[in-house]
Amino acid sequence: MAQITLSGLRHSYSPNPQTPEDYALKEINLDWQDGGAYALLGPSGCGKSTLLNIISGLLVPSHGQILFNGKDVTRLAPDKRNIAQVFQFPVIYDTMTVYDNLAFPLRNRGVPEARVKARVTEIADMLEVSDILRKRAAGLSPDAKQKISMGRGLVRDDVNVVMFDEPLTVIDPHLKWKLRSKLKELHQRVRATMIYVTHDQTEALTFADQVVVMQDGDIVQIGSPVDLFERPAHTFVGHFIGSPGMNVLECEMRQGQVLVQGHAVILEGMATGDGGKTQIGIRPEFVRLGPGGLPATVRKVMDVGRHAVVEAMLGKVAVKAVVNGPVPEIGASTGLHFDPAMTRLYRDGRIASTAGGRR
Amino acid sequence: MKAVNQRAWFFVLPVLLLVAFNALIPLMTVVNYSVQETFGNNLFFWSGLRWFEDLLNSERFHAALGRQFLFTAIILAIEVPLGVIIALSMPRRGPWVSVCLVTMALPMLIPWNVVGAMWNIFTLPDIGLAGYFINETLGIPYDMTQNPMAAWITIIAMDVWHWTSLVVLLAYAGLVSIPDAYYQAAKIDGASNWAVFRFIQLPKMKQVLTIAILLRFMDSFNIYTEIFVLTGGGPGNATTLLSIDLVKLALGQFDLGPAGAMSLIYFAITLLVSWLFYTLMTKDDPK
């Protein structure tokens, strides 16, 4: 287990990169604590898999360093780094039994057979695959195969870090939930540093203590799931996390007042900075409908089960609100109330209001 | 009783006719010959199983069959491992892939009789490039028209040259279908190159290799044209494999009865060995 430091990491797949667009990773500086559960979250093509492959050693970065416990491993081969990785599609050795699959990483390192047996039995127990240990791995279902892949990652107790590259992609939805909680439980039991790469916010937020949100090769925000949800540092994070995403509305700044479609809105705190394009951000969860407030017309109502998402037109812009209980009719006039403590200001996409009120 | 619409038969008829003319009827003529004795003027006499008994007890047949099995065993033992090794060392991506593939495919595009003629001229001791080089420059006596050993080496070299590519291309197709994640996982698991071959590449190539071995078995077991052109079965009977012997019997001596019997036994052996191969190689596949 190890503390992982990424310093000044940049990577380009083209041999002589010219513009920032040539870089798949722009400039990454990160510190990950020993034993933490981290998630790398971002849309496809944001560079998260590149970053993962650099950490595992499958890729050598164009610039920068990776340190495990302060030791430079940037140019070390994957098998010398003592790491484990679980891939998007289950990788199993077809001709071996489940037991031999799990024992493979240990046997390759010359671990005595008695110790192999103890570890495999322990891991099989944790993953609840003890009853199929003698079976050929080829005939298993995809989720069982992925469990075996995870098991191979966890079987060595001296690994620096276990990495998961979108491991639940091929798993049926009803089993995803089971495997996700299994993974969380495993982390609590083995206490290895774990990095989980995904584009699925639910997976990232349920698994990780700290989520790193990436976009176009850049880190946009690092924070706990609650931080990301309540106070997105960038409108991208606001959009990307939450269902539906944050309402981001163009606004004007006039004499210290924030005007959205000509109506004054109260922010959480003071606006910082100057100039640029200004927007306010408010989560649909913190928009309340009722008499008074900003005048709006209900345009759409989507019932998503536990609550309804109401889309109302405030002047020319649509605002979404999460409504528990009775929903207004389409076409009805209503008032929008933004919770001031949850209303953020963004300048050119970055947060530009000081935290105030309740947090 | 319910009336059954019989019109469906009409749709099967064309296929039935085709199969009848290209397989069943020719095969039946052979069966017909195999149980009769022929004299000129289309005179036929029933001879029962005599030709079969004669043939199975004939030294000549035993020798040809032995040479046939030896030839097939040698070329399988060379072409399959060699094909796999070449496929493993070919690039997986980049501009060299197509260069390699085309180079590999070239020998297979050459007609059989041309291959035979090419190798004949190539290996002649007086004017052939290889023949002259081995005899004069290396000083090793080599004459495939006189020496049985030299003739065998030549027919084997020719077949390896002509057909290893088939194994290469099939094995390569199996190799490129392996996702990168397998190699990455193996690297992280600390697997040696041998372990990667044994536990990832070989299992993934197994199905295409089964097909490659079957095809190479059937083709080499039925080989005729190339050897006929190259050595004509000689020197003496040294390279007279089954098919060459069969043609000598049928068209040289015009013994249609024994030739018919031999064809059927030949066919039965090919079928039996192919079936055995296939069953053995697929017996522990997951269903």
Tokens matching residue A268: 């959480």
Distance from CA of B173 to the nearest CA of A (A): 19
Distance from CA of B172 to the nearest CA of A (A): 19
Q: Is the minimum CB–CB distance between B281 and chain A shorter than 8 Å?
A: no
Chain A to chain B, count of Cβ pairs less than 8 Å apart? Answer: 53
Q: Is the minimum CB–CB distance between B93 and chain A shorter than 8 Å?
A: no
Q: Is the minimum CB–CB distance between B197 and chain A shorter than 8 Å?
A: no
**Tens digit of each residue's pLDDT (9 = 90 or more) over A180-202:** 888 888 888 878 888 999 888 88
Average pLDDT, chain A: 85
Domain boundaries in chain A?
4-230, 245-351
Contact A149 B200 (CB under 8 A): no
CATH class of A4-230: alpha beta
In three-state secondary structure terms, A324 is coil
- The overall longest dimension of chain A from CA atoms, in Å, is 76
- The residue count of chain A comes to 359
Q: What are phi and psi of A342, to 5 degrees?
A: -110, 10
Separation in Å, CA B160 to CA B157, B205, B231: 5, 20, 16
DSSP A95: T
Closest CA to B60 of B240, B225, B265, B273: B240
Closest CA to A162 of A146, A186, A142: A186
Q: Is the minimum CB–CB distance between B188 and chain A shorter than 8 Å?
A: yes
Contact B286 A136 (CB under 8 A): yes
Tokens matching residue B200: 């990832």
Exposed / middle / buried, residue A214 (Cβ in 10 Å: 0-12, 13-18, 19+):
buried
Q: Where are the alpha helices (DSSP H) in chain A?
A: 48-56, 78-81, 98-108, 113-127, 142-154, 173-190, 201-207, 225-230, 235-240
The whole-number pLDDT of residue A359 equals 39
The whole-number pLDDT of residue A18 equals 76
User: Own/partner pairs for B93-96, CB < 8 Å, 24+ apart?
Assistant: none
Q: Name the closest residue on chain A to residue B178, using Cα atoms.
A: A91
Distance of alpha carbon A175 from its chain centroid, rounded?
A: 20
Q: What are phi and psi of A67, to 5 degrees?
A: -120, 135
Averaged pLDDT, A307-325: 88
Q: Name the closest residue on chain A to residue B191, using Cα atoms.
A: A108
In three-state secondary structure terms, A263 is strand
Q: Which residues contact A332 (CB under 8 A, 6 or more apart)?
A: A297, A298
Exposed / middle / buried, residue A108 (Cβ in 10 Å: 0-12, 13-18, 19+):
middle
End-to-end CA distance of chain A: 34
**Tens digit of each residue's pLDDT (9 = 90 or more) over A248-297:** 988 888 877 888 888 888 888 888 877 788 888 999 999 988 888 888 88
Question: ipTM more than 0.85?
Answer: no
Q: Is the minimum CB–CB distance between A87 and chain B shorter than 8 Å?
A: yes
For residue A107, pLDDT over 70 is answered with: yes
pLDDT along chain B (287 residues), means of 10: 76 90 87 79 76 81 88 94 92 87 89 88 84 81 82 90 92 89 86 88 88 90 85 81 82 79 88 87 66
H/E stretch holding B215: helix B202-221
Chain A residues 98-127 with CB within 8 Å of chain B: 104-105, 108-109
Q: Distance between CA B53 and CA B285 in Å, rounded? A: 40
From the list A84, A91, A104, the residue facing B182 with the nearest CB is: A91
The whole-number pLDDT of residue A1 equals 58
CATH architecture, domain A245-351 = Beta Barrel (2.40)
Please list every residue in chain B whose beta carbon sits closer than 8 Å to the beta carbon of residue A139: 286
Q: Is the minimum CB–CB distance between B8 and chain A shorter than 8 Å?
A: no
Q: Name the closest residue on chain A to residue B189, using Cα atoms.
A: A105
Contact B190 A85 (CB under 8 A): no
For residue A65, pLDDT over 90 is answered with: no
Q: Please state, as a whole number, how many other Cβ atoms lie within 10 Å of the Cβ of residue B133.
A: 12
Q: Is the minimum CB–CB distance between B42 and chain A shorter than 8 Å?
A: no
From the list A83, A108, A152, the residue facing B195 with the nearest CB is: A108
CATH superfamily of B56-282: MetI-like (1.10.3720.10)
The whole-number pLDDT of residue B18 equals 92
In three-state secondary structure terms, B80 is helix
Q: Name the closest residue on chain A to residue B286, using Cα atoms.
A: A139
In three-state secondary structure terms, B253 is coil
Contact B195 A85 (CB under 8 A): no
Contact A78 B187 (CB under 8 A): yes
